[in-house]
Amino acid sequence: MKDINSRIRVLVADDHSVVRTGIRQFLETADDIIVTAEAGDGEEAIQLIDQDPPDVVVLDIQMPKMTGIEVTRWIRSNHPKVGILILTAYDDEPYALNILQAGANGYVLKTAKPEEITRAVREVNAGRSVVDAVITEKMLKHLTHPPRQEIDPLSSREVEVLQLVAKGLTNKLIALQLNISDRTVQGHLAHIFNKLHASSRTEAVMRGMSAGWITQEMIENDAESR
């Protein structure tokens, strides 16, 4: 086993203790990585980083007190040499683009194999960028097949529905929040997809962001409130 000073020092930040324990266990099976600290929320993460900056922070997006995007921006402003690897369940391009633009070095899904996450930690520590193949494929699809049709304007209710979709709400939760039926939500989504020439919720959100109906701040504020 390598000496602690020669190993990659990692801080794991996730609001689920079981997830943190699992990440620690498989990362520390590698003889070149050691988890030096764990944080259960964003504020605790920045306190621990300030006290003893790690080489790499493995960071979730959705956390109490401070979101992963806010922690990423804080790290870039205060500890620019610390590598940031986002490990999340969110596979939507808006989340990935927002946090990569905020300064994260990598974006990997929690569905990745342990060895893939371990490799991503090494890549980030070496100063290289790493993005999950699922996210890369979606981004490339939008780059190589950009929307050519002119999008039609949405009604105020359709904009409301699309904004709630961007915040990750299911049809049932959207129906409850807007006090309408699930079937009505499905109808609005069908009209939204048709007007925006979108084939998925993710694609509709991307078009909505391009049109200005959805903003980065809106998604961040929702993440912070969870």
The tokens for 125 are 């520590």
Residue 151 lies in a domain: no
The last residue of a domain, from among 107, 141, 175? 141
Residue type, 10: V
Mark whether 110 and 192 lie in a shared domain. Answer: no
**Tell me, what DSSP letter sits at residue 60?**
-
**Is the Cβ–Cβ distance between 9 and 55 less than 8 Å?**
yes
**Is the Cβ–Cβ distance between 213 and 153 less than 8 Å?**
no
Mark whether 87 and 167 lie in a shared domain. Answer: no
Query: How far apart are alpha carbons 198 and 113 in whole angstroms?
Result: 31
Average pLDDT of every residue of the chain: 84
Neighbours of 47 (CB within 10 A): 12
Domain that includes residue 62, residue range: 4-141
List pLDDT tens digits, range 45-88. Answer: 999 999 999 999 999 988 888 888 899 999 999 999 999 999 98
CATH code of the domain containing 44:
3.40.50.2300
Mark whether 170 and 120 lie in a shared domain. Answer: no
The vertex-139 CA angle with 136 and 144, nearest 5°, equals 120
Query: How far apart are alpha carbons 9 and 16 in whole angstroms?
Result: 21
Mark whether 118 and 27 lie in a shared domain. Answer: yes
CB neighbour burial string for 173-199, b if at least 16 within 10 angstroms, e if fewer: ebbeebeeeeebbeebbebbbebbebe
The last residue of a domain, from among 84, 106, 141? 141
Mark whether 74 and 163 lie in a shared domain. Answer: no
CATH code of the domain containing 175:
1.10.10.10
- Would you say how long the chain is, in residues? 226
The last residue of a domain, from among 82, 111, 141? 141
List pLDDT tens digits, range 157-201. Answer: 999 999 888 887 889 999 999 999 989 999 999 999 888 887 778
Q: What percent of the chain has pLDDT over 70?
A: 85
What is the pTM (predicted TM-score) of this model? 0.62
- Total domains in the chain come to 2
Mark whether 193 and 88 lie in a shared domain. Answer: no
Q: Which among 106, 91, 92, 114 is positioned nearest to 59, based on CA atoms?
A: 106
The tokens for 194 are 């048709």
